[in-house]
Amino acid sequence: MVSKNVETLINKQIAGEQYAAQYYLAMSAWFEAQDLEGLANYFRVQSKEELMHADKMFDYLNDVGGKVILEAIPAPPGDFADALEIFEKALAHEKEVTQNIFNIVKVATEENDFATTSFLQWFVNEQVEEEATASQHVSKIKMVKDNPSALYLFDQELGKRVLNTAQ
């Protein structure tokens, strides 16, 4: 059984993951509008991954006898200045998610809630990867953004991403 505190934080994080899905879907839409289909694909897949993260937390909370309470998800931004802004915002957002996950781990640890700390270890590892990838993308988009042929190749590369449902 989880404490009320941990239950509230996990519910907040379910909403956070769902918001991330909306945020990345808005980024995908922006790239679609620019005809950068590969980058649009990348963020569409990322959006679906975030929904899987929310589902994981949803299932966990049910498994440990917590009550899932869904929140309203705020609207994501409707527009972006350019591709660099999107990649920088994606990185900043992942850093924020990492801090939120760390905070739940901290509270669960203080409460000797070993089930939750063990469950969240997957998310801690996932955030390391997500931040590393987002950071590499910021560096790459800086390299290619003013070079159409390089941007084309980057778009092709990210167009190959498929959703890993085995997570």
At closest approach, how far in Å is the CB of 29 from ligand FEO? 18
Tell me which amino acid residue 116 is. Answer: T
The Cα–Cα gap between 134 and 119 comes to: 24
Task: Please say which residue, 156 or 167, places its beta carbon nearer to ligand FEO.
Answer: 167
Is 110 labelled a binding residue?
no
Please tell me whether 157 is known to bind a ligand.
no
Site for ligand FEO in 84-103 (CB under 6 A): 94, 97
> Per rule CB under 6 A, is residue 17 in the interface with ligand FEO?
yes
Of 127, 129, 119, residue with least CA distance to 98: 127
Residue 46, classified by CB atoms within 10 Å of its CB into exposed (0-12), middle (13-18) or buried (19+), is buried
DSSP code per residue over 120-132: HHHHHHHHHHHHH
CB of 112 to ligand FEO, least distance (A): 26
Q: Does 20 bind ligand FEO (CB under 6 A)?
A: yes
| Euclidean distance between CA atoms 129 and 122, whole angstroms | 11
Number of chain residues interacting with ligand FEO (CB under 6 A): 7
Q: How far is the CB of 90 from ligand FEO (least distance, A)?
A: 9
Q: What residue ranges bind ligand FEO (CB under 6 A)?
A: 17, 20, 50, 53, 94, 97, 130
